[in-house]
Every structure is written in C-alpha cells, then in structure tokens.
Amino acid sequence: MPHCYNRVMPELPEVETVVRDLQPLLVSKCIVSVRVGKHKLRHPWKPRWTKRVTGRKVAALRRRGKWIIIDLDNDSHLLAHLGMTGRFTVEPPEAKTGAHTHLIFTLDSGAQLRFRDVRRFGSVRHCATSTELERELASKLGPEPWELTPDRWLASLKATSRCLKAVLLDQHIVAGVGNIYADEALFAARLAPRQRGRRTSPEQAEQLRLAIVAVLDRAIAARGTTFRDYVGGNGQAGGFQHALAVYGRASEACRECGNEIRLTRLAGRSTHYCPNCQPFRRMQRRRAVS
C-alpha cells in the first residue's frame, strides 16, 4: 500500500504530519534519477535541477509554514508546496503511475517519491544554497506560531485596521495558519473574526496568541483534519475534524452555548463563528464635549 499524503488546502498541521511520516522513508536515501511529467506545474521543474539533485542523499526533512523542505547532503534543498491538491506518495516502482503525476524521484532503496497534483497549483523547486532557501522563505513567511513573541504579535495587530481573520491568514505575520485553524483559534480566544486588529487589547492579543498555539498543537496530535481523502504515511486519516468547534459547522449548534454557528465571508474566505461566544462590539464614537 503506498504511503500517501494529500488534502485540499493543507495547513500547518497537515503539512507537519506529512513531514513526520515522510522522514523515515526519505532520510539517508539517495536520489538516483528524476523523471518529469509532460504538464508543467505552477513553477516548472528545470532540467538543470535534475543534474543537481541526482546522486544526492536526503539529509533531513522539515517544515516551514506550509512548505516542505528536503535538505540534501550538499547544502542544497528541495522546497515543496502542496498547493490545493498536491500529494506526495512513496511507492514501489512497479506501482501504476497515477494521472497528474508531475515528478518521480527514484531512490536507492528502489522506492519512488512521486509528486501528483491535479490542479497544478503546487510546486517543487531546487534551491542551490541555504542562503537562497532562507531568502526565498523570508520573503514569504513570518515567524512560526510557537516563535511569535507577545510584543511582536501585539505590535502587528496594533499596526493594522484589517480584521483579525485577515491578520491570521497573513503568512508574513504568522506562518502556517490557514482558514480552518484561524476560525478555530478565534473561537478558542472568544474573539469576533471581524474585530479590527488595532481595536484588540493586549489581553485579547495574548489570549489569541495562546489559542493559536493550543489549537495547532491539538490538531497536530490528531494528525490534522480530514474532510476528503487526506491520510498520513500509515494510511491513517486525520482526526481533528471530530473536534472542530466552528469550522464546517454552519447552522449547527455551538457546543459551548447552543446558539447557531454562523457563516460569513471575510478576507475573501468562508468564516465560521458563534455570535454568542464571539460577540462583535462596535466601538462607540466619543461625543464632542460642548
């Protein structure tokens, strides 16, 4: 049975699960060849990258935000993003190659690391040096949720008039949080998704920062959220969908207060919240003193 890693719009917990499951299958294995499919990905694989990775051993596998980093033994790296429908599988060479398979890395173990992506929004690229890799990631990502300090987080909130939902989705402010876990963190912090960042008190900011970490920790422990066909390396599906408080539960009763979960659209994304547990209080304008 192939080791399969897939879900639509994977977020930090799902990518972390993929990385942890791939590690024993890839680390210390050597890439002996690369086969490229006919259709190009969003960032096409370049022929010179094949020469650079062939014969290199996988030194480590890690995650940064929603990106997968495969460190090679010559200080170069493969940087992968699953996009919306990207999937990594480690399969025996005799296994049938599925449609929309764009890259096949054959390993010295005989197994193949295959990258399949129906919608082709994902990508796998080569970074020749650690400096190039870090420059690429620094241009896209802020700190990891566990590394986000209270002062930096509060300053980011106070500097914007955007709603809290939009701030959480901004990868430059905090890396890895997506739509599911933004909604769940806001519910855990009892904050309205439409509340503006600059209207957030220091106490609320810290409550939200801790909620982000707590929700992600729980989701990682549950191997992420499965709505479609996402499974980990051992074929086990994620389990956090059973613990979701608001996401995907529009019109259902809130588990805390019994009120109906509402669905709206903020920052261009579907947003789930409980209007009773997460009340939105508009700031009253001060009356001019006569």
Report the domain count for the chain: 2
| Dist CA 123 CA 83 (whole Å) | 7
pLDDT at 68: 96
Task: Please indicate, yes or no, if residue 91 is contained in any of the structural domains.
Answer: yes
More confident residue, 73 or 231: 73
The residue type found at 103 is L
Domain holding 213, by residue range, is 145-273
pLDDT at 239: 60
For residue 1, name the pLDDT band (cuts at 50, 70, 90): very low
Same-domain pairing of 132 and 158: no
Reported as a single tens digit per residue, the pLDDT across 154-179 is 999 999 999 999 999 999 999 999 99
Mean of pLDDT values over 205-209? 98
Task: Please indicate, yes or no, if residue 283 is contained in any of the structural domains.
Answer: no
Same-domain pairing of 263 and 158: yes
Cα–Cα distances (Å) from 33 to 37, 54, 57, 64, 109, in that order, read: 13, 6, 12, 26, 12
pLDDT at 37: 86
- Does residue 230 register a pLDDT over 70? no
Same-domain pairing of 110 and 196: no
Mean pLDDT of the chain: 89
- Does residue 33 register a pLDDT over 50? yes
More confident residue, 66 or 286: 66
Task: Please indicate, yes or no, if residue 218 is contained in any of the structural domains.
Answer: yes
- Does residue 289 register a pLDDT over 60? no
- Does residue 141 register a pLDDT over 90? yes
| Dist CA 239 CA 256 (whole Å) | 20
Same-domain pairing of 86 and 191: no
Same-domain pairing of 129 and 229: no
Q: In DSSP terms, which residues pair with 106 in a beta bridge?
A: 33, 112
Percent of the chain with pLDDT strictly greater than 90: 73
* Owner of token pair 């956090």: 240
| Dist CA 220 CA 189 (whole Å) | 19
Q: What is the CATH number of the domain that holds 255?
A: 1.10.8.50
For residue 235, name the pLDDT band (cuts at 50, 70, 90): very low
Same-domain pairing of 88 and 157: no
- Does residue 8 register a pLDDT over 70? no
Task: Please indicate, yes or no, if residue 160 is contained in any of the structural domains.
Answer: yes
CB proximity list for 275: less than 8 A, separation 6 or greater: 259, 262
Mean of pLDDT values over 213-217? 96
Nearest CA among 173, 175, 176 for reference residue 162: 173
**Would you please indicate which residues are annotated as catalytic (active-site) residues?**
10-11, 66, 269
Same-domain pairing of 160 and 106: no
For residue 20, name the pLDDT band (cuts at 50, 70, 90): very high
Mean of pLDDT values over 114-124? 87
